[in-house]
Structure 1
């Protein structure tokens, strides 16, 4: 540790937080960093420089260091998998769709040519035409047989890949997650140079990198501490896109290998803390730091209704967050068929409203004739989210039934609540309990559009009652960021074995989440 301000003669703990994104929109990481800085610690957040440049930026008393993470090992592994997916000669069917299409077109040309040649004057000799006709017939048969074989082989490979993707036994993260090797090579030297006293790893993809950095520091004779901040229940992650059961099993294997090496854990809900204790037989229950928002008044949010192109006469349900099938947006969209015409849905799309998934959702709403009632809008800065959402009437989360969804409390719920919005949520364990116990909204059956419409109607018909519950001072205090800071401070004081100073802000904000200008980082070490 380094000497510096604080209690007389006390050392200033050097805390390094690591996360595998570029930090910009990760409000949880930013809030925790600012909170730990107010405990008198020197805090550096290390994130991923997606633009390839090593830079630093200031966020209050926190330094954000962004480091490039080349994905060479992952890229090579991806290429190997692509090659393995292409059958070697002799080929069953076609090597590619392009080859199959070209063969069909050549056949089409030869048929047209033969038909035309039969009409030419002078006409080609009959034996020659007969031979060409026989050869054409044989070629057509070969194309049909190869195409049929290709369909069967493609179906077989799809089933094989599905079996592989859903196999959960015998999966090892070192083989399945080559990106972890890239992260270690890029971040390991950086962490060594920062000479941390506490290394705080956010999410499972930083767990192994942190564990090895701690081991190296202790081998050099340094007394360091290690915190693992579990954002998700890894073994129960939702399946979406490339995140198959096989990939989830690999992440679970990764967590299982390193989780016991953390000195303390932090997680996002009481239900998830209990689940982690049960799964890993932890000696200490993880500290619960619910991802409630802070109020950043430094930037004014744009108007949600203006961006959506609607007026104040529209009753508006909003969803804000990442869009995947597992988030259940199809349920919210389909529920509009059971609701009056003046009820609309605004979807705040993270990372933006031009992704492939958003385009598919838009196309579906147009086919169903409800495109004018579903509005896909871009997100805002993390500090503007609460203000941005205020113009809606209801906040929704129609998530599907995955174990990780069951035990977590998504930050969007508290962004809605701080914006003054009652909730309509699917009946996942943790979020349903929050809504029912506090009377701040309604719960509906997972993937049931009609039941979601019932819940939305119930809230809209009695908005004043639900809003009163949302604004209850005791409820808001219980789920304030100031209350979450108490839990984080208690953990750090226990971890470091001493009382830490506390510079509590005048309001409920943990400080502005706005960063200063990014500048080239000086050499480390």
Structure 2
């Protein structure tokens, strides 16, 4: 359709997400499916450099807006401390001073080497002794400066560690003060970096004049709420949908001790502005309703895979998992897909392999950007255990290929540790494993374990218990067809498709705008320097 030709739509939706879209299969599927359902969809993501970048996902337009991250430097963490007055200011000075000491040491070593070389080449002993004596003050000065610099650098390190430690009484008192003084507005003092998404996105949202703002997760909730307020001030009845991917109070604290109190306060302040709330699991829906006093329980839109990929998605052939691992069809193969962090428990798979001598594992976890330090550490662990030849680290595949790619495996593993958000999760990988019709080996985190036990699609082991994990793997591999048969019962997989979930999201939109008049397609105002691509790059997961 020509750019200047209007088409009728059901309403204009601006989706907001705090990432670059490429690695977020949920927002990709939301954008594509809602555009296919007749909504005019713009998906705004972030990039940390300019210029604006745009591409299409089906009929939805993605725009990555440049974002300045200068607010990531929290003043409370780098101010001088009365408790450690000799510390360097937190920043580059400490590192600079330490490197300068190393440079001076290198200079002194060279000067001594030159004296020794002249002596070995026939120089007089007297000249050699005189040269060493001349360097004595330099050595003494260097030693004193080295001790002083290292002491001050150590004070800087200890000050930084203290300020990031939320168990310290002084730090807790500071957080408590701002919570008492400002209530839910305390995030402005605790973590001003939350403003950077507002500053990056606000103009783009206002220019698009959306009928519905779909804010993904806690950071974008505030951005969407403020955009809704501005729209109301101009007489537009813009609706806000909050898509809660995680339970904020249950997140593992990041960055500094103020971060978690800040994001929970931020979420609490702006949750009342949501006209509708959707989330990823029934357990999380119950928690959100209780936490924020919501009048109605959030609708559940699960992270299920697509049943039928779009034409532009299905063009590429699905690679063969066993070929990529270099193994034949009769080799026992476990599969894991997704990120690797300590709390995801993937170490237990490596540790179990010496006790499972025939078993291989495929880790579909290698990020396409080539930076995979945690994967590399896991491979090093495998080398130390003598099982590196049975561990296959493989790159991510697009989200619509994951289930087909995993299907040749014998079983799939989800070894999550016990954390609040893990207890309530039905993750992407749970549904991807299910659509691959793989027996599922899961740790005993509450929601996923209950589902596996109720369906009979796998077995549950005690989280972080190596012996129990090995027991369950042996049990599943002894009769995998027993567990695969669970997927044939009661059309189980039909309800676990993205198409079914998209229908829920479409209903949420429709209830917010039951009688919306058709709007016209806007002229796309991409910046002159915008980079446009034909389709979404390969998705990281």
Q: Normalised by the shorter chain, which TM-score bucket?
A: 0.7 to 0.9
The answer for the alignment partner of 1:420 in structure 2 is 437
Name the structure 2 match of 1:12.
10
Residues 271 and 331 (structure 1), Cα distance of their counterparts in 2 relative to 1, 3 Å cut: same
Report the CA distance between 1:135 and its aligned residue: 5.0
Contact 1:118 1:124 in 2 (8 A): no
| Residue 201 (1) aligns with residue 198 (2) | no
CA distance in 2, matches of 1:330, 1:493: 45
Is 1:234 the equivalent of 2:248? yes
Shift of 1:44: 2.4
Corresponding residue of 2:3: none
Q: 1:216 aligns with which of 230, 239, 243?
A: 230
Task: Check conservation: 1:16, 1:196, Cα contact below 8 A.
Answer: yes
1:321–1:350: structure 2 CA closer, same or farther, 3 Å change rule? farther
Match for 1:265 among 277, 287, 296? 277
**Counterpart pick for 2:300 among 288, 300, 303:** 288
1:200–1:137 CA distance, 2 compared to 1 (3 A): closer
Is 1:159–2:161 an aligned residue pair? yes
- Tell me what 1:142 maps to: 144
**How far is 1:69 from its partner?**
1.8
The residue aligned with 2:88 is: 87
Find the aligned partners of 1:269 and 1:252 in 2 and give their Cα distance: 19
TM-score scaled to structure 2, two decimals?
0.79
State the distance in 2 between where 1:210 and 1:476 align.
34
Once the 2 structures are TM-superposed, how far is the Cα of residue 142 of structure 1 from its aligned partner?
3.2
> Pick from 474, 483, 501: which aligns with 1:484?
501
Q: Which moved more, 1:41-50 or 1:426-435?
A: 41-50
Alpha-carbon deviations, 1:493-515, whole Å to 9, x = none?
A: 332246999xxxxxxxxxxxxx9
C-alpha distance in 2 between matches for 1:148 and 1:419: 56
- Shift of the alpha carbon at 1:479? 2.3
CA contact (8 A) 1:46 1:65 kept: yes
- Change in Cα spacing, 1:147 to 1:54, as seen in structure 2 (3 Å) is closer
Q: 2:262 aligns with which of 250, 272, 275?
A: 250
Report SS of the residue matched to 1:201: strand
Contact 1:118 1:129 in 2 (8 A): no
Change (3 A) 1:79 1:148: closer
Q: Deviations over 1:129-182 (max 9, x none)?
A: 896697588558636754773685366235314415985734743356555433
TM-score of the pair, normalised by structure 1: 0.81
Kept in 1: contact 2:54–2:533 (CA 8 A): no
Query: Secondary structure of 1:124's partner?
Result: helix
Structure 1 runs not aligned, ≥5 long: 6-10, 502-514, 520-525
Unaligned residue ranges in structure 2 (runs of 5+): 1-5, 82-86, 179-185, 519-531, 537-541
For the 8 Å contact 2:206–2:227, the answer to whether it is kept is yes
RMSD value, Cα: 3.8
Superposition pairs of residues 37-436 of structure 1, within 5 angstroms: 37-48=35-46, 52-60=50-58, 62-71=59-68, 73-74=70-71, 77=73, 87=88, 96-105=97-106, 108=109, 122-124=124-126, 135=137, 138=140, 142=144, 145-146=147-148, 149=151, 153=155, 156-157=158-159, 159-163=161-165, 169-170=175-176, 172-175=186-189, 177=191, 179-239=193-253, 243-297=255-309, 298-299=314-315, 300-351=317-368, 354-436=371-453
> Per-residue displacement from partner, 1:113-136 (whole Å, max 9, x unpaired)?
788899986443999689669758
Aligned partners of 1:192 and 1:71: how far apart in 2? 19
C-alpha change, 1:129 and 1:411, in structure 2 (3 Å) is: closer
- After alignment, is 360-369 or 200-209 more displaced? 360-369
Aligned to 2:28: 30
Contact persistence 1:19–1:46 (CA under 8 A): yes
Give secondary structure in 2 for the equivalent of 1:290.
coil
State the 1:216 CA deviation: 0.6
Per the TM alignment, residue 99 of structure 1 is displaced from its structure 2 partner at its CA by: 3.2
Residue in 1 aligned with 2:19?
21
Question: Which piece of structure 1 moves more, 123-132 or 281-290?
Answer: 123-132
Query: What secondary structure, in the 3-state scheme, does the structure 1 residue paired with 2:328 have?
Result: coil
Contact 1:25 1:382 in 2 (8 A): no
Residue 362 and residue 147 in structure 1: after superposition, are their counterparts in 2 closer, same or farther (change >3 A)?
farther
